C-alpha cells in the first residue's frame, strides 16, 4: 500500500511540475494536440471525404462510373441473343458491394422527330430512370431534372440537351414549353448542359416507363450505367459484373466499358495526397516528441540541485526516473486529450458539411490508437532525460551552479 501511495505521490508531483511550467511546453502541447486531431479526423471521416469527392467532382465521377451494353450482333448470327437487361440482373448488379447506384437506359434504335414551326427536327431519344442524373454526375443547366416520381407515374415530361434546345427553339431557355415528340406532347422540365456532358447535349430524355408506353421501339433497357462508391471499388465491381451476367443471363455479348486510364490517374493523385497527409501528421507528432525531449532535458538541467537534494534525503534512482518519466507521459497524454477534444469537434463540423454520420466504432478505434501513440511518444521522448536525471551523482548535483 505504501508503494502505491508513493507512486501516486510521484505522479502528483510530476503533474504539478508540468502545470507549473506549462508556458514552456505550449508549443509541444499544440504540436501533439493538432497532430492527434488530424490523425483522428483522417481515420474517422477519411472514407466519407473520399465518397464525397467521388460524388461531387466530375473527374472522379467519370473514373468511378462504368457502362454496360451489348456487343453489336454479328451479321451471320442465326441464333438471336438477348438485347436487354433482365430485372433480376439489374437487381444483382445493384447489390454488388461497392456499388453506389445503377441507372438503366432505353436507347431508341432510330431518330425521333419533332415538328416545331413547320420544321421537322430529328434527334436521339433516350428513356431514362430517376437515377440517371446522379449516376452520371449531371446537373441541370436550366430548370430541373425529372425524378423517380415522374418515372413511376409515367408522366409526359422531358429534358433536352442544351444544343438540341437551341436547334429546335433557338434558345436554351425552354423550361415550361411543350415539345411534340413522335406525335405526343411533352412538358420540358429542364435543360442538360455544362462540363462532362459530352454528346448528351444533342439528345432528349423522357422517363423510360413513358417511353415503353408511348414510343415505338422502346421495350426493355439495353444500356446500364453503374456508379461505384469510391475509386477503390471499381476493380472489384468490374470483376463481379461479368460473373453475374454469366449466371443470370447470357454474358458473352455484354460489353463493359471502364475508364481505366482516368482511374489510374485519380488513384495516383489520391495516393500521393494520402501519403502527404499522413507524413504531415507524423511529422507534427514527431516534432512534438522532439519538443518533449528538449523540454525535459532543459528541465533536468535546471533542476539538477533539486535532484541532488532529493537523493540526499533518501530518494532512490527509480523515484527520480518515475517522476520525470511521469512528467513526460502527462505532457504527451494531456496534449493528446486536448487533440481528441479538437478532433471530436472537427468531426462534427466535417460531418455536417458532408451530410454523413461517421462510424462511432471507427471514432473509438482512432481515439484508442491516438492514446496509445501518445503514450509511446511520451515514453520514447522522456526516457533518456529521465535516465539522465536518475543516474546523477549526489555530490555533483549538489555542487551544480
The span from the CA of 179 to the CA of 188, in Å, is 7
Is residue 297 predicted with pLDDT exceeding 60? Answer: yes
Q: Which of 203-207, 316-320, 362-366: highest mean pLDDT?
A: 203-207
**What's the pLDDT at 78?**
46
- Which tens digit of pLDDT belongs to each residue from 5-23? 555 665 666 667 667 666 6
Confidence of residue 294 (pLDDT cuts 50, 70, 90): confident
**What's the pLDDT at 8?**
63
Confidence of residue 76 (pLDDT cuts 50, 70, 90): very low
Confidence of residue 59 (pLDDT cuts 50, 70, 90): low
Calculate the average pLDDT of the chain.
Answer: 79
Q: What is the mean pLDDT of residues 151-174?
A: 91
Confidence of residue 187 (pLDDT cuts 50, 70, 90): very high
- Which tens digit of pLDDT belongs to each residue from 115-124? 887 788 899 8
The span from the CA of 148 to the CA of 183, in Å, is 24
Considering the entire predicted model, what is its pTM? 0.62
**What's the pLDDT at 398?**
61
Is residue 342 predicted with pLDDT exceeding 70? Answer: yes
Phi and psi, residue 66, nearest 5°: -130, 155
Q: What is the mean pLDDT of residues 148-176?
A: 91
- Which tens digit of pLDDT belongs to each residue from 374-394? 888 888 888 888 888 888 777
Residue holding cell 466504432?
361
Is residue 195 predicted with pLDDT exceeding 60? Answer: yes
**What's the pLDDT at 79?**
45
Residue 135 burial by CB count (10 A; 0-12/13-18/19+): exposed, middle or buried?
Answer: buried
What residues form DSSP beta bridges with 224? Answer: 68, 104
**What's the pLDDT at 80?**
45
What the block records as the C-alpha cell of 157 is: 415530361
**What's the pLDDT at 189?**
94
Residue 253 burial by CB count (10 A; 0-12/13-18/19+): exposed, middle or buried?
Answer: middle
What the block records as the C-alpha cell of 49 is: 471525404
Is residue 316 predicted with pLDDT exceeding 90? Answer: no
**What's the pLDDT at 381?**
82
Residue 266 burial by CB count (10 A; 0-12/13-18/19+): exposed, middle or buried?
Answer: buried
The span from the CA of 138 to the CA of 190, in Å, is 12
**What's the pLDDT at 46?**
66
Radius of gyration of the chain, Cα coordinates, nearest whole angstrom: 33
Residues in the chain: 401
> In 3-state terms, the chain is what percent helix, strand and coil (to 5)?
60, 15, 25
The span from the CA of 146 to the CA of 130, in Å, is 7
Contact 150, 130 (CB under 8 A): yes
| Residue in 9, 1, 6, 44 with CA at minimum distance from that of residue 363 | 44
**What's the pLDDT at 144?**
93
List the alpha helices (DSSP H) in 175-233: 208-214
**What's the pLDDT at 285?**
72
**What's the pLDDT at 132?**
92
What the block records as the C-alpha cell of 193 is: 448542359
**Is the torsion defined by CA of 232, 92, 220, 72 positive or negative?**
positive
Q: What is the mean pLDDT of residues 140-166?
A: 92
The span from the CA of 376 to the CA of 326, in Å, is 12
**What's the pLDDT at 73?**
57
Phi and psi, residue 336, nearest 5°: -65, -35
Give the DSSP letter of residue 24.
Answer: T
Q: What is the mean pLDDT of residues 159-184?
A: 90
Is residue 158 predicted with pLDDT exceeding 90? Answer: yes
Count CB atoms within 10 A of the CB of residue 187. Answer: 15
Amino acid at each position: 500500500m505504501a508503494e502505491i501511495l508513493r507512486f501516486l505521490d510521484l505522479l502528483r508531483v510530476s503533474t504539478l511540475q508540468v502545470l507549473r511550467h506549462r508556458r514552456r511546453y505550449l508549443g509541444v502541447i499544440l504540436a501533439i494536440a493538432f497532430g492527434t486531431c488530424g490523425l483522428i479526423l483522417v481515420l474517422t471521416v477519411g472514407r466519407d471525404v473520399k465518397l464525397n469527392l467521388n460524388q461531387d467532382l466530375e473527374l472522379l465521377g467519370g473514373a468511378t462510373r462504368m457502362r454496360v451494353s451489348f456487343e453489336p450482333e454479328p451479321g451471320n448470327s442465326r441464333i438471336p441473343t438477348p438485347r436487354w437487361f433482365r430485372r433480376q440482373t439489374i437487381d444483382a448488379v445493384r447489390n454488388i458491394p461497392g456499388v453506389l447506384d445503377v441507372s438503366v437506359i432505353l436507347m431508341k434504335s432510330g431518330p425521333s422527330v419533332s415538328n416545331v414551326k413547320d420544321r421537322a427536327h430529328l434527334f436521339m431519344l433516350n428513356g431514362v430512370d430517376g437515377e440517371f442524373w446522379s449516376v452520371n454526375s449531371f446537373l441541370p443547366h436550366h430548370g430541373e431534372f425529372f425524378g423517380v416520381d415522374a418515372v413511376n407515374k409515367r408522366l409526359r415530361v422531358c429534358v433536352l440537351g442544351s444544343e438540341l434546345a437551341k436547334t429546335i427553339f433557338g434558345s436554351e431557355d425552354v423550361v415550361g414549353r411543350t415539345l411534340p415528340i413522335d406525335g405526343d406532347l411533352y412538358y420540358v422540365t429542364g435543360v442538360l448542359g455544362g462540363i462532362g456532358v459530352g454528346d448528351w447535349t444533342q439528345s432528349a430524355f423522357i422517363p423510360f416507363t413513358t417511353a415503353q408506353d408511348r414510343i415505338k421501339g422502346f421495350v426493355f433497357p439495353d444500356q446500364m450505367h453503374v456508379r461505384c462508391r469510391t475509386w477503390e471499388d471499381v476493380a472489384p465491381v468490374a470483376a463481379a459484373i461479368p460473373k453475374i451476367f454469366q449466371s443470370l443471363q447470357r454474358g458473352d455479348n455484354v460489353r463493359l466499358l471502364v475508364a481505366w486510364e482516368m482511374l489510374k490517374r485519380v488513384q495516383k493523385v489520391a495516393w500521393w495526397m494520402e501519403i502527404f497527409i499522413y507524413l504531415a501528421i507524423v511529422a507534427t507528432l514527431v516534432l512534438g516528441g522532439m519538443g518533449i525531449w528538449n523540454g525535459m532535458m532543459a528541465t533536468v538541467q535546471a533542476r539538477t540541485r533539486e535532484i541532488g537534494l532529493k537523493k540526499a534525503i533518501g530518494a532512490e534512482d527509480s523515484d527520480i526516473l518515475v517522476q520525470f518519466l511521469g512528467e513526460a507521459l502527462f505532457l504527451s497524454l494531456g496534449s493528446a486529450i486536448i487533440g481528441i477534444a479538437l478532433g471530436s469537434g472537427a468531426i462534427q463540423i466535417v460531418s455536417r458539411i458532408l451530410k454523413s454520420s461517421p462510424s462511432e466504432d471507427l471514432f473509438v478505434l482512432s481515439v484508442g490508437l491516438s492514446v496509445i501513440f501518445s503514450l509511446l511518444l511520451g515514453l520514447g521522448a522522456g526516457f533518456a532525460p529521465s535516465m539522465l536525471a536518475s543516474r546523477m551523482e549526489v555530490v555533483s548535483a549538489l555542487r551544480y551552479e
